[in-house]
């Protein structure tokens, strides 16, 4: 099925050999598998089966550490960037 383990009904073609999640090629972009309200609480409805691009995106966001791609997405939604948590001092 297109998209690897992603259900075929959730992807759309972006050329003869490439697919993307439905809704991500639109403007504004919103993945069909994203549930909830941005800025409040969101979750991926197919998290266990998400495609590689999603697995590579902001791998530490769940623990409050963003990367530049994550922070750019947050800027588009008028949210503050994720910043690394301070490292505890140990003497």
Kindly report, residue by residue over 39-67, the tens digit of the pLDDT.
Answer: 888 889 998 888 888 887 777 777 767 77
Residue 55 pLDDT: 81
Run of H or E residues at 56:
helix 52-56
Q: What letter would DSSP give residue 30?
A: -
pLDDT at 90 over 50: yes
- Tell me the residue ranges of DSSP E strands in the chain: 11-13, 19-21, 34-37, 41-44
Using CA atoms, how far apart are residues 80 and 21, in angstroms rounded to an integer?
25
């Amino acid at each position: 099925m297109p998209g690897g383990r992603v259900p075929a009904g959730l992807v759309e073609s972006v050329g003869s050999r490439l697919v993307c999640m439905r809704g991500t090629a639109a403007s504004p972009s919103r993945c069909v598998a994203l549930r909830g309200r941005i800025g409040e609480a969101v979750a991926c409805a197919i998290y266990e089966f998400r495609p590689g691009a999603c697995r590579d995106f902001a791998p530490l966001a769940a623990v409050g550490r963003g990367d530049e791609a994550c922070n750019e997405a947050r800027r588009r939604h008028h949210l503050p960037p994720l910043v690394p948590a301070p490292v505890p001092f140990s003497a």
